[in-house]
Structure 1
């Protein structure tokens, strides 16, 4: 009885595949070859090598008692190694690996930055501030708008956080005698972002001001001699100096929306007058109004 010899096919071709793949990975580190593109283009070579090995074994084994079987374990192992390495390179080339690294390396930073300033001329009569989050307003001694933005920045380093927060945070647009002020939306790049926690704004004392669609406002009312209109704000906090000459009209649903240490009068709307009430603050379509005199 003749013994049947078994020759396994696949280990030689799979070895050549590993060598070729290693060469591709090695060269990609020096000349910028895309491993994914190269692998997707040459993968049919695996079939060619496997077919050549089968034909060679058939040709070299003229003994009829020789049986050829596929070395499935070697083929499977090599394919797993290839898929694993290609997965790593795919994550690197598509930026997923960098994102994962940034997630572990990034931190949160609180940064205060100076706002881009705007000089007013005599022809400007009104300022309209639209769509900001948390706003603190103080009077300015000169005829210039300035301020500070408080930012919450997520970045991989303090330098990256400062770079992300270095651009403008307010946008000015003038139309006739009116200046419009808009907040610039949150900034981000691939791995970092910044968002505003609040803005402190210094405004000239004698220019009419209108504020619309803001979340919260803290108005430090001192030395102003102008008219204010506040419309569509969730919470309004006003701190008055005792010597302020101002009248506040708060058009709210009930006196339950009016707070503070002043004595409100209410007859269809809240009203408070200090001094002769020469300067007006009109509050429309807003939530709670808190006025404290200091």
Structure 2
């Protein structure tokens, strides 16, 4: 009695086909994934034809059909891999994998902003957005913004932010210049966290008043020779860098932590509400005559750096 082992031929053809695919992809530098997507269905056709062939001829001969389970499992594994690749391709995940492999993370310069404040401008109202920001006073009349941001880009593709309007809104109304940092586009990918790391510096003329809505972000303030009042509210951590000749009074209200040179803060503690156990701090920090005031309200931490 003759024994037919169904699956052996399919496994042999699979190994030969897989070897040919790998060889062609190495020689021609073709995309291996594309070749596999078009080649793997042939395995099921070969295996099905082999089963039908043996069943048909086993009726005419005194033979016994035996299934080679190891070979069939091997063919099935390759087929399952092919199905998985098709599903990944149809769902767009394969494109995500290719993009993640070919992409690289870069630190890119922000499109700069550098303009005169304009005649009649007396104050700047700033919405700092979701990213840490450094703010300095400048000696000239220009409002300037520069910095960097991180992004994951494909080869031969341009940066995500091409002009300042992509991350910044600037508008003048009356005697006020409004500046708002926009949330950057979210990058959805296998290697992306969904957020982008932006670090920017804003320089405003020293004679302009400044009002900052901190949006719970961290701020670094370098007022230098301030010639007007600044105010900050609803920020996270505020670091203030002062000079020896600074003439500033820092008025902190409703702050959880006050840091700086020892015994420089004149502090009082207050309860947030009479029915609440939360205690916050008010404090005054003076340099020089304190002719100009930096007011910090409802902020987690204020740390003064003073020589």
CA separation in 1, counterparts of 2:6 and 2:301? 81
Please tell me the root mean square deviation across aligned C-alpha atoms, in Å.
4.6
**Structure 2 counterpart of 1:279:** 292
Bigger radius of gyration, 1 or 2? 1
**Structure 2 counterpart of 1:237:** 239
Q: Deviations over 1:152-209 (max 9, x none)?
A: 566799x98x946877574124262341321543764646657426332222222222
**Structure 2 counterpart of 1:129:** 127
Shift of 1:230: 0.7
Give the 5 Å matches for 1:1-294.
Answer: 4-12=1-9, 35-36=36-37, 39=40, 43=44, 46-59=47-60, 61=61, 66-73=62-69, 75-76=71-72, 78-80=74-76, 82-83=78-79, 86=82, 93=89, 94-95=94-95, 98=98, 101=101, 111=107, 113-119=109-115, 120-124=117-121, 125-151=123-149, 163=159, 170-174=167-171, 176=173, 177-185=176-184, 188=187, 190=189, 195-196=196-197, 198-211=199-212, 212-252=214-254, 257-260=258-261, 263-266=264-267, 269-294=282-307
The count of residues paired between Structure 1 and Structure 2 equals 279
Residues 275, 15 of structure 1: alpha-carbon distance in 2 compared, 3 angstrom cutoff: closer
2:134–2:200 Cα contact (<8 Å) kept: yes
Secondary structure of the equivalent of 2:238?
A: strand
CA separation in 2, counterparts of 1:51 and 1:265? 93
Greater percentage in strand: 1
1:155–1:191 Cα contact (<8 Å) kept: no
1:115–1:148 Cα contact (<8 Å) kept: yes
1:155–1:192 Cα contact (<8 Å) kept: no
Deviates more, 1:118-127 or 1:266-275: 266-275
CA separation in 2, counterparts of 1:273 and 1:43? 82
CA separation in 2, counterparts of 1:6 and 1:290? 86
Unaligned ranges ≥5, structure 2: 271-281
Shift of 1:98: 3.7
CA separation in 1, counterparts of 2:83 and 2:77? 10
